Structure 1
């Protein structure tokens, strides 16, 4: 009999490692079955192997192989359930390894389907880390792939999710969101008539998830809107769009509408969900290439594999969003010769030749511009501006204009109700680019006098940008286009730009093929890409077509080496900004970044050409005579030891003598060597030692200026500021023997941050830029020396409070790997009001914390309890202003629920607090979750009752009175009735648990009894028989008279 295999292998292919191991284990398991043993004997033999780890794994692998390759998997799975000891952890790990492997696509199709069937059984058994396995399964549902194998995979996976929708997805918010994001994206791939049944099921699945659990779904963020735009013309989604735009409270009582949704950035886990593990590995390999040949070879291989099939172009949209929001290179990678993000994005845009998909690709690139906030990550908008800069500098005017025009039309017409907010966001994004003093953005501020600067001015998006661009101009007279702009309104002369129609994106209404005219002067453009309002009857997704003539032609160029093909004789030759024909670029004439910045000299030291003008390198300034030959000796020294001996002498002279503009004059001699040895800290340590020895403010200012000049080399300000922070903390640590030391010298670090940024031109939002710089230093400190970070926690919170309080970055670093002693000291200081962590920003931290590790969530709520515990006003504010209660679930987030109970125990009950926790029952998606929420509320009631029975009775009575008064109105909201019914369920369940206590302290109280009786009558229900017998006839009569 031929050997059963997992993979489709050719004759020359070697068997896979996983398959060999599992097959050998299967042979042992199969021999046990063939011995004629009874089922009891087989199970006993399997149980004997449980105690030995190696034999246990072999047994589980053998059974797994039998399940995947056999005809009937039921008896094998039953045996697996008998001998399992680790909650199927071994099985889940092996299935994850098979599904994440690079050769997953070579698994035989029946094996893949059986893997999904086994995953469904593991969901029913609540296997260990089953969520991670389901997440991998969702990633393997490939987008833009309509092969029979992938369609069968998507269909089987959808069936599994449909059957486990209530008992699995509704209890795990993250998995619900991942499932929705996956199939909302796949719908547009299955528009062909041959996929009607699958598409219908996908639509119903997504609509049901959003209708039933929108309070979970909205946490996806703004990319949920982007996917909904793609399917807006489908009838079922058309109705959903109406509710989303005009009646959002139907979806979620606390949902404010589209504006709130688009302001929420999408977390990377959802964008990564549409990139298969194999594709992710390919992209990672491409971004690690530092040679043109290696990059082109891998890119061509990726393109042939993923974009050779019909209908595969839309995958480029998913990859662009992944690159923009997930792949964030470090500063070292940006300064290197590795492949840049905008280069790959340019390749992907050139692939999308379809006139419908091209605008979607551009929207994926510019999407975060439309909703930019100061606290967002600048890396999300960096690729777009770099792509614009490089296309302009390579004189590809048509491509550059396409990008600018697209941003212009989306800013004005992406969503009419939000147009003003979107224009402000684009303004803020442009301001951020202009104010970031980074080498890759420096060129952008110097383009005022050329066509790119004028093109941006003619967009009219940024009111202050034209002033900055003109300020960078060498001419004293601004251009005509620049002088025409005086506000954030569009002012585009009809002759200023070529008549190019706007790019079209998916619209709810059919778009004609006629080009949209360019608006005349003082008019607002009418973009084709708008959010759906009221879709036209009968319109379909395929009706969203539009002309992009002039936008999609001639863009198949490569940015890897900035090679610009010469213009053909039939096309007009583009002119340089000065009127000269463009220069030709070839590989042989390309100049690397390192050769532009650093010039090597014969003695082995490197000097930065950006520090000292060439004239100063050959002739020494006369005012530097007091340094003697020390500067030249330091600069020309060939060993680090010589430089270390000379540098203190130079710094002493520098500090004692008042030479005008001394830091700048000596920087050309000493700064390059100090900057080059920053990672070793030898020379930089000498600079910091000198700084610590200074007393006068004037001398410290001179040293700060010198530190700023060190940071100017290769944009090293972040490295310098981190080294200064490290030096401050280490010096304070040396001077203190306490576990948590004080570091008042952090004032030097703050002064340096202020000095670096304020001395740099162009920063508008200094507060945000400073916060971003400090947080980067915090992260570097946490990675490099976590013990120092923890010992310095309190002094950092004291002297850098504005960068710590209410900041999710700092809080995550704080709770990550926290030590018991730090946790104890922190809670003591919070309880005594000696420090503050949350402030008023509860929601900004707690919502992000739901995706943290369980131990980090537990520690976070301990810290929160220490800060707000015992303070009624803070607890009420936290419960009423935070949306955290909407997302809590016992099965998915037990730690926050435990922490919330601890917090509630510290304060007396109030009507507002009771009303807030009752939302847990209102948000329950099924009977089990509602029962769990009911138990939570009863536990909170019992805690309050044990502390003060009288207070609990009075507050509960008052709350019931308020509910009953509200229910007397005929226009009572359903939520009020629901709250009243839930409260009655709580009291009944509480009575069944503690009849004596409830009877004596509550039901025998006239006011309480009257309130609960009134609510019961208004709900159309009857009081419990036990409650009626508790009251004597006289008491009942008096209660009725009082009513």
Structure 2
């Protein structure tokens, strides 16, 4: 029978564990239904029964209750075997499991807690390890949500039986909160973040003695959360009021510093699959042969920018949880320090790099040879030493960071930290990791700043300042030092650490894709590729021209389908450019911002983008996909290019009072792009070195063409990339577009309002009524910009929501979970658009109010928004009828709208009421409605009767409906 447990791919080798469970269930299924056999003849039969029950519980929900009762009846080992099988499934099969078995897994874990099954703590740990940091996919967030609910609902049982598991859960959720709060504009995280905060705060306030089991890394995790109000209070109490935790023996934060963190906590943030791959890399892969393993690991586990936060967890695991044997240390297997150097190279964000460095040095700060293992600090020292002299920048950067941390991490306890670092160095020398510290102190290549820092530190050690720390509790009166005993990310960035170069050659730290061998293509382009590095060293302009020669040669080769050539070129171009020191398709936030450095106009990256937009050449498109998969910021850079092109065209008067007599000096990208367009479309476009003078007349049609081409190119790249990979991680095109928009806003303070105008104008298929784009809009724009967009929408320059009722309704439902301020902005935009469009407001009104998700309290802002929309609409028969049919549970809502219309448009209102009642009376109205069962809104009927009576008009139909409503039970929606 087919597996109901995991996804099985055709021709895939069967999984032995899944096969064994499925076979046991198939064989013993008749025994899992009444009448149940309660005697077990052998240990083998008991094993098979447990396997069959596990499979049945997970894959046959209808049998789950019966199977669990049967297990309760026959169990003779305290559920140890059953839970062990579940743990194996989580460790080995979770990523392949179908959705239904995953839901059942959480349920059966809850049951095992209820019966205090032996080993249920291990099962919970296995589940915690499957929640991946930096992963915002629906499945990952669902698991995080379910587990925090489980810990809260089973709090007392877990506390009684397996209290240590609660400290593991605390470690996990403190790390997850750090990632979740960095994605603040994602609405689906709001409820989850609040639950995670409640759990962590409860642990810290009620079970602080358990929290202390984490050791010093508890402080490292908490310091990243001090921007959250609930944790800021806890942080202050840790420093100023330790007695508030009511824990015997805890009187100062320095006591936590002295507690080494157990390696089991570092395993919590590394999935079993990731652990297997890292241990294989560090145990079996020879130095010099690791490149393809590193590329695979990066693509498998660090494929999205958000995943960078995992690097600090990986570094802590390598330093503290993986200590190689003597045999491995003496072999030619890649050492830990080289892998850490490679991981440092992967950091593209300053705060991630700072956190990784802190993870690397953390045990140095509080090292005690009586408590700590020197192997935890060994890889850092070897990285410092082995980067000399060829890669001195690595040593300079790390030492500068270390000494800044020593001085600033905890000013009131600086002596403790100074003593810890000196103790770590002394132990490393005594163990022979390095011969002496002379390797650093005698190095003339150290920067003057680092050399001075090193000398100051050594003088403190020699003078004995580090030997006796001040007694704990002697706090400074300076509130800044009291509330922040850490070098924050902001502080670290202000010291402007130098960017990390490549680490030593034998560490193979680059992560370029594997070259595709293609002799014909190599011979054809080799002479051009070989010129790039030397050209870039001479001048970036010459390097740019060399790349343009290659691209034009490729375009004129007449072959658009040889994707092997594309991969070869993509790999070789990127390699040569990076060897020349040029960061190809670097993130927008890392671009230079000086007036003399306009990366978007004159650079290799700009030339590639411009050539692709103009030519639409398939091989260049494939090259872009290769670079994107290799971690380059391709989508965001192309979008930024298109947005700036549209902005400069607008400055030139495009679409309004356009003239070809423009000061192109102030519009460099538009001029450069149109120059490139004429060069490409001219008869001699194969001669790329020809200078094209901008003399041709530029009309509005041409400008529209080049702007449309730019946005079409971005759309193609985004949608193709989504088809290739993003569907696997539940990332919608709108989510990818929103992420690229955030990136685009980072350079030269691009104004969000301008970005949105272009997005809705040129990419309506990706942005109309898209949840991620709309939420970004309402969360980022100030009121002034929002009003400006409302005016544009009112003038019908572009639309934000479109006319798809289903999409808008889904968006409204999602908005119920947003902050109130964001909901108000959201409804202001809806009102501006719906009142000037052909959108069927009446359908939206009925769908919303008859939805079970709407109620008068939790949906108050949305109801107010609908009130404003209806009041802004003309009283047509359709919308008047919809208001009349709204459920009674929304008291006086209908009457309020009707009252507004009687004041603003009484004549049309009366006519529409008459039309609606005529339809109702003759039962020939909307075919969707069963008129005999329809219940009218009571407040609307009473208002209309009073309104027409006041005018001396009697409407029999209204009285008849009012009478019928009294005879029929009131509709509650």
Q: TM-score range by the shorter chain?
A: 0.3 to 0.5
